[in-house]
């Protein structure tokens, strides 16, 4: 069928059809030209022109965020540095105070020892012509030596205890109970006088861990821990190995690798223990001085 003979076009005249065709061509040509012009402008335009404003805004935002982050990091670093500096200064002041107090303590102890010796020399000089007084002084010295408050010397055994090589765990390090059991074992074996690193063990001596150090008579000790026990070297060594303390240290040495050496010595010197300050005790027949009320 010919298109011109279609049923839909039978009721329209040729002039009307011509006018409609002209309008359609005009509208189509005008629309096509508009699209074509826009397409040409897009082709000729710089592809970065449309992205520049948005990219500029994005770069500015990134810069602000980076600056804020850098400011926060710098502030935190300054605060941490100031705190570290304050902690270091406080630690240095504390160490200085401890050293100063230790120096004063050592000076006072040396002064006490000097005055005590001068007092004994004066006492001996004044009572030199009195035989009864001399015998009383000898008895007093023997009692002081037995109680631990006078220096003594003689043969005995030396016991050295130290951490295991490359010790990392507590079980591989010397503990206060190791020294306590060793001292008890030496006394049980018949030791007449014992000292640890120059600190005499008396009836009121304590062996306790204080911080990272073991203290004897409230004085911190440094490793290794050396016991000087006065007595018969042969008997003391054999008996000590059979005591609970000796057996305990042998087991610790075997299991954890601690150093535990026992050797005989021909001449050992054990100093005097510090004299205790009596607050309640007084000689019979004397009046109380009020010290016990403190």
- pLDDT tens track, the chain, 294 positions: 444 444 444 444 444 445 455 555 545 554 455 555 665 666 665 555 454 455 555 677 777 777 787 888 888 877 777 777 778 888 888 888 888 888 888 888 889 888 888 887 888 788 878 888 888 888 888 888 888 888 999 999 999 999 999 888 888 999 999 999 999 999 999 999 999 999 999 878 889 998 889 999 888 999 999 999 999 999 999 999 999 999 999 999 999 999 999 999 999 999 988 877 777 877 787 776 654 444
CA quadruple 100, 106, 111, 116: dihedral sign: positive
The 259-270 sheet, strands edge to edge: 199-200, 193-196, 225-230, 152-162, 259-270
Closest CA relative to residue 149, chosen from 273, 266, 58: 273
Specify the pTM: 0.57
Neighbouring C-alpha atoms within 13 Å toward the C-beta of 265 = 20
2: left (phi over 0), alpha (psi -120 to 50) or beta: beta
E strands, the chain, in order: 152-162, 193-196, 199-200, 207-210, 213-216, 219-220, 225-230, 259-270
Which string of b and e fits 33-62 if b means at least 16 CB within 10 Å?
eeeeeeeeeeeeeeeeeeeeeeeeeeeeee
Pull the structure tokens for residue 88.
């270091």
């Amino acid at each position: 069928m010919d298109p011109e003979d279609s049923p839909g076009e039978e009721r329209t005249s040729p002039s009307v059809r011509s006018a409609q065709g002209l309008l359609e061509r005009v509208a189509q040509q005008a629309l096509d030209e508009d699209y074509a012009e826009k397409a040409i402008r897009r082709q000729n335009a710089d592809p970065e022109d449309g992205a520049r404003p948005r990219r500029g805004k994005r770069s500015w935002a990134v810069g602000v965020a980076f600056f804020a982050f850098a400011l926060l990091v710098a502030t935190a670093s300054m605060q941490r540095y100031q705190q570290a500096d304050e902690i270091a200064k406080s630690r240095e002041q504390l160490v200085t105070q401890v050293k100063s107090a230790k120096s004063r303590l050592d000076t006072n102890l040396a002064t006490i020892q000097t005055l005590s010796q001068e007092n004994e020399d004066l006492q001996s000089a004044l009572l030199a012509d009195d035989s009864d007084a001399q015998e009383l002084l000898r008895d007093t010295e023997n009692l002081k030596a037995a109680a631990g408050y006078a220096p003594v010397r003689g043969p005995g055994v030396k016991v050295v205890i130290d951490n295991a090589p490359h010790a990392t765990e507590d079980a591989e390090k010397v503990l206060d109970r190791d020294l306590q059991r060793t001292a008890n074992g030496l006394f049980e074996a018949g030791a007449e006088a014992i000292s640890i690193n120059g600190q005499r063990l008396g009836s009121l001596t304590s062996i306790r861990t204080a911080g990272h150090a073991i203290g004897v008579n409230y004085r911190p000790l440094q490793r290794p821990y050396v016991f000087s026990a006065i007595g018969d070297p042969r008997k003391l060594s054999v008996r000590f190995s059979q005591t609970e303390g000796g057996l305990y240290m042998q087991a610790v040495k075997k299991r954890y690798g601690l150093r535990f050496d026992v050797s005989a010595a021909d001449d050992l010197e054990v100093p005097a223990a510090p004299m205790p300050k009596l607050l309640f005790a007084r000689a019979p027949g004397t009046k109380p001085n009020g010290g016990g009320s403190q």
